[in-house]
Amino acid sequence: MKIPIHTASQIADILGCSLMGDPAVPVSGINEIHRVGPGDLTFTDVPKYLRRAIESPASVILVNQEIDPPPGKALLLTPFPFRDFNRLLEHFQPTLPPSFTHTSTSFEGVRIGENVVIGEGTYIEPGCSIGHNVVIGPHCYIGRNTLIYPNVTIGAYTYIGSQVVIQSGCVIGGEAFYYKRNPAGSERLLSKGRVVIGDFVEIGANTTIDRGVTSDTYIGDHTKIDNLVQIGHDTFIGRNCQIAAQVGIAGACVIEDGVILWGQVGIPSGIRIGAKATVLAKSGVLTSLEGGKVYFGFIAKEVKKAWREIASMGRLPRLLRALEPPSVNGHSHDELPFPS
C-alpha cells in the first residue's frame, strides 16, 4: 500500500510512540512482512518474527521491545504493534462508508439489469453486461466485454480486466480473514488492498476472493476458477491456471503459471506452487511444491511416490506374517517353554 512520503519521525508523531534510529528515514508504503520493500513500514509483535522483520528490506518497523536499530532503519516502539499498524492503515486510507448510489447513471454500451447498485468513482467499459441485483463498490474498474451474472458482490477498489466472466453468487473483494487473538477476543487486521483480475478470467458460482490487506490479491490472465472456491488475501495466482470446485487457498500464497488444482485441494498460507504443477483431488499441500510435477495425498507429494505408498499398504499383512517366527510342533514361538 503506497502512501504520501513521510519521515519516520512524522509517523511516530501520528502514533504517539517513541522512535529508535534515524528519524529522517522516509516511508512511502505500508506492507506486511511478506511483501515489504525499501521505504515500507511493517510490524512485528511475535518474538519468532522479530529477526525476520529486522533483516527485511523494510525501512521502518513497529516493535514492542527496545532493541538497537540496524543502520539506515528506524524502529517505532509501541506496546501494540498490530493495533498501531491498523491505525496507520486507517489513517492513510479511511474505510469507505457503504454510500452506494443506485445506478441511474448509464455507461455507454453497457447493459445493466434491475436493482443494480454501483459505487461512486466506478467505471465500466463498453460491451459489459451486469446482471440483476449486482452490487459494485466504489472506485472499481471493469474492462470491456465482461459478463457479470446476477447476485454478484464486488468490493471497493476492485480491478477487473476485459472478457471476464463472473458467475452468480460470487463475492469479489471481501475482507481478509486475518485476526490477532488476545485474551479479550480476536482483533481483525484491516483490509486496504485490492483484488486485481486479469483478462479472459472465468470465475464460477459462489466463489469468494478476498482483497489484499496492504497489497493486491491477483488472478492472472486466462485463469479458470470453478464454483465454491475460496482464495485468501494477498495471494498471487498466475496465468492460465485451472482451479476446480471446493479448493481452498489461504492468504499470501503464490500459484505460478499453468498450475492445475483439482477439487477440494487445501493450501495453507505462505505456500508456493511452481509453474505447471498439478495437484490431484483432496490433496493437502503443507509445503511448497516444485513446478512441472503431479502431486497427490496428504501430505501432498509426487503422485507416483504417493501411489506406491498406498499400494504398499495392501501388502502389509503378508509382509508381517512373513516376519513372524516359525511354529514348532504346532506351538508358536511365544508358547514354547524355555529353561529358566
| d(C-alpha 330, C-alpha 67), whole Å | 75
Q: What was the pLDDT predicted at 327? A: 59
Q: What was the pLDDT predicted at 323? A: 83
DSSP letter (8 states) at residue 274: -
What is the DSSP annotation of 14-57?
A: HHT-EEEE-TT-EEEEE--GGG--TTEEEE--SHHHHHHHHHSS
Q: What was the pLDDT predicted at 322? A: 84
Residues with active-site annotation: 233
The kind and range of the H/E element at 160 are strand 159-160
Residue type present at position 239: R
Architecture, CATH, for domain 101-301? 3 Solenoid (2.160)
Q: What was the pLDDT predicted at 335? A: 53
| d(C-alpha 201, C-alpha 224), whole Å | 6
Domain 2-92 belongs in CATH node 3.40.50.300: no
The segments of the chain whose pLDDT lies below 70 read 98-105, 326-340
How high does pLDDT run on average in the chain? Answer: 91
Domain map (residue ranges) of the chain = 2-92, 101-301
**8-15 and 81-92 helices, crossing angle to 10°:** 100
Instruction: Assess contact for 122 and 103: CB atoms under 8 A.
Output: no
Q: What was the pLDDT predicted at 307? A: 85
**The C-alpha cell that represents 32 in the structure block:** 506486511
